[in-house]
Structure 1
């Protein structure tokens, strides 16, 4: 009686099925490349393992016993399952599985969103069955969410101080200082340095702004972590603040915002694709990162 199934048992079962399909020991010699005595020995070992006879062989010819018939059905089912497993496991070997969670900063330029869409398109052309989650979040939260493993990848501007992450450059965004209609700076001509120093600015939690704002202006009674909040403060005509140029331009065109033209009021912010290093990165996450990088390289 079989307990655990070993490789030798599988070998003997395959031989048994071949003998039956050939119609007997003698007929199976060519198909198996074995002599009749050797085939007989293997069949005898299988019967010993099972504890019952599988076939009758003699002058009446080769004939399966009732138990042999049952084993033949079971063996064919087993080998069909093994083949199905082989095909499925080979398919999984080359297929990307799991999930990818990517965070990205708010209020990005539409061309950036378009390139992100191209990255998804490239990834979906792979052999994959992956759930992708895209999450727009505040830049100040990006590295924390990555550290907490609530995100796998993130597109934004970073302190780049986390040794656990890779930071790969993607594109540059222009930030500029703006005032709204009704603010003294809106209609100011010439050097507006004093007005700028006295202006009530919108405070941001972003590291790349802190030193710059301190150089230009000291007063702040407004704070916003979101671009939309900053815009609302500026449109009030009582505060000035930094906005991405692409985001502010429609409001400038409508005559509601004015860019402040000062040496410290315009600068570039580099954006990176950040992700964890090491063995915790799945094949799907690595492949999606490659597609993001390729899409941004293709459309600079």
Structure 2
């Protein structure tokens, strides 16, 4: 009784199906390139493996037994499935499969989002069937998810202090110091660093970790990590604060904001492409990084 299927069984089944399609042992010799006695021996092995007779052969001619008919049908299904598998396997050899989870920082410039979209477009034009997920979160949350293997990659303004993470520069963003109409400095033509020092500056503890911003103030009564919340504090007229230039632009055009000492107090924030050092990058991740590099430039 056949309990396991081995390579030898497949060989025997191929001989069997050729014999049936040829109409007998003698007719199958030319197709198989072996003698009739060898064919007979191989068929006997197959019948022994199966535990029952497949065909009648003799002076009356060749014909399948009822069980032989069933084995013939099953054999055709088997080899059809094998061919389907081989075709699908060949297709998968050059196909990117799996999932890709990317974290991105909040309040990105429209041009950055456009370039990110272009990178995704490049990736989608590859031979792929990948489940893609984008997650927007604060930098600390993105780093936490990377460390817990909940994300493959993250794009944001990170502190660079997590030893387990790899930080690669991707692009930079211009930051300037602003006040709004209603603030005492809004109408002043001569603003000094001493004037700024007397103001209530919005503290953005994570973004500016390491004192990278040129201007630091004393005690502050406003604190947030979100860009939109920083803007709200500044628009109150009670605080000055750093904002990305692209966030401030429409408010500047409307006459609601003013940049304070734009050259002295302004600076650029470096955004990074970040991943977990201890996790081996899969081919899907490697391919998407290539597409990011193609759009943003050398990473």
TM-score class, shorter: over 0.9
Q: How far did residue 153 of structure 1 move?
A: 1.1
Q: 1:250 and 2:250 equivalent?
A: yes
1:106-121 matched pairs, under 5 angstroms: 106-121=106-121
Structure 2 gaps of 5+ residues are none
Indicate the residue corresponding to 1:43 in structure 2. 43
Counterpart residue number, 1:104: 104
Instruction: State the Cα deviation string for residues 182-229 of structure 1 (Å, max 9, x = none).
Output: 212212223522211110010112253552569531120001111111
Distance in 2 between residues matched to 1:277 and 1:209, nearest whole Å: 22
Q: Superposition pairs for residues 143-222 of structure 1, below 5 Å?
A: 143-208=143-208, 211-212=211-212, 216-222=216-222
Instruction: Quote the Cα distance in structure 2 between the aligned partners of 1:167 and 1:254.
Output: 37
Q: Secondary structure at the match of 2:222?
A: strand
Alpha-carbon offset, residue 262 of structure 1:
5.7
Q: Distance in 1 between matches of 2:166 and 2:213?
A: 29
Q: What does residue 287 of structure 1 align with?
A: 287
Q: What residue in structure 1 maps to residue 68 of structure 2?
A: 68
Residue number in structure 1 paired with 2:4 = 4
Of residues 247-256 and 90-99 in structure 1, the stretch that sits farther from structure 2 once superposed is 90-99
Measure how far apart 1:289 and its partner are.
2.1
Paired residue secondary structure (1:74): helix
Q: Distance in 2 between matches of 1:62 and 1:81?
A: 28
More helix by share: 1
C-alpha distance in 2 between matches for 1:286 and 1:59 = 67
SS at 2:229's partner residue? helix
Listed as ranges, the gaps of 5+ residues in structure 1 are none
The answer as to whether partners of 2:173 and 2:270 remain within 8 angstroms in 1 is: yes
CA RMSD of aligned residues (A): 2.0
Aligned match of 1:136? 136
Runs of 4+ residues over 4 Å off in structure 1: 212-215
Give the drift of 1:86.
Answer: 1.9
Give the match for residue 275 of structure 2: 275
**Contact 2:177 2:243 (8 Å CA) reproduced:** yes
**Counterparts of 1:215 and 1:270 in 2: how far apart (Å)?**
17
TM-score (norm 2): 0.93
* Alpha carbons of structure 1 residues 215 and 107: separation in structure 2 relative to 1, 3 Å: closer
Distance (whole Å) between structure 2 residues aligned to residue 152 and residue 217 of structure 1: 37
